[in-house]
Amino acid sequence: MRNAPSGVQVVPSLLSADLSRLGECLDEARAAGARWVSVDVMDGHFVPNIGFGPDLVRMIKERARLRRAPGLFVDAHLMVSNPEEVAPFFARAGADMVVVHWEACKDPRRALKGLRRLGVAAGMAIKPRTPASRLVPLLGEMDLALVMSVEPGFGGAKFLSSAMPKVAALRRAVSAAGLRCRVAVDGGINRTTAAAAARAGAECLVAGTAVFGERDVGAAFKALQRTAENSFNH
């Protein structure tokens, strides 16, 4: 199983990138220090949007290899109703981590074990209406617990501060159990909300608009990364 980059990480989400210059956007983020990107996979059923497929993961990994640049850790965030069927496509495409939604898993524990059997790091996400307590008993089976701070499906949505107590609860549970699971947040992350999320205990912050929606992607990434590092103290 591949290990995610350690420490506080701002994770650019490609959903908000300019698709006509996706490669350059990736290069700019990586040159600024990004070591992890998130690929949003959406089926138009679990969330009301259609997202990327395995070929994008393959392209990202291949581009990094050809450039002999520091590799990019790539997670595939499956916002789909059948994550266990879809996950192998992304593992075969080279995803380092696959994130499934608790709400889409008939047997969440089995789903997490299945991801690790695929040789990828296992992540599990919860939507805004799902309590953090659903993930607590499963933290030992996952490498990332992802709290959605927007209703998933689109970039640029408004940050839901109601996600912060969930982040804090998961951070406490991970620390109390001495687990290595990362706590992450995704949605509406900018310099203000990144500080709040990092203070609450999120060390991985997925950001789309605040990075790729800016004219200077590199500067935007660096500013967000600095804010997150300065605010995280767990």
Give yes or no for residue 75 binding ligand DX5 (CB under 6 A). Answer: no
Q: Which has the closest alpha carbon to 129: 100, 153, 88, 160?
A: 160
**Is the CB of residue 15 less than 8 Å from the CB of residue 4?**
no
Residue from the set 189, 194, 197, 228 that interacts with ligand DX5 by CB under 6 A: 189
Q: Does residue 157 touch ligand DX5 according to CB under 6 A?
A: yes
Under the binding rule (CB under 6 A), the answer on residue 155 touching ligand DX5 is yes
Query: By CB under 6 A, is residue 186 in contact with ligand DX5?
Result: yes
Q: In the complex, what is the shortest distance from the CB of residue 176 to ligand DX5, in angstroms, rounded to a whole number?
A: 28
Nearest to 61 by CA among 33, 40, 92, 88: 92
Q: Which stretch binds ligand DX5 (CB under 6 A): 2-10, 13-21, 130-138, 161-169?
A: 13-21
Number of residues interacting with ligand DX5: please give it, by CB under 6 A: 22
Indicate the SS3 state at residue 148: strand
127 binds ligand DX5 (CB under 6 A): no
Of 59 and 157, nearer to ligand DX5 (C-beta) is 157
The DSSP symbol for 181 reads: -
Does residue 110 contact residue 87 with C-beta atoms inside 8 Å?
no
User: Rounded to the nearest whole angstrom, what is the least distance from the CB of residue 63 to ligand DX5 in the complex?
Assistant: 20
Q: How far apart are the first and last CA of the chain?
A: 25
The answer to whether residue 100 forms part of the interface with ligand DX5 (CB under 6 A) is no
Contact status: 41 vs ligand DX5 (CB under 6 A): no
Active site members: 40, 186
Find the binder of ligand DX5 among 111, 206, 223, 224 (CB under 6 A). Answer: 206
> In angstroms, rounded to a whole number, what is the distance separating the alpha carbons of residues 234 and 221?
22
Confirm or reject binding of residue 150 to ligand DX5 (CB under 6 A): yes
Interacting residues of 50 by C-beta distance below 8 A, sequence separation 6+: 42, 43, 44
Pairing of strands 36-42, 97-101: unpaired
Phi, psi (5° rounding) for residue 107?
-135, 90
Contact 173, 136 (CB under 8 A): yes
According to the binding rule CB under 6 A, does residue 114 interact with ligand DX5?
Answer: no
Binding site for ligand DX5 (CB under 6 A): 13, 15-16, 38, 40, 77, 150, 152-157, 186-189, 206-210
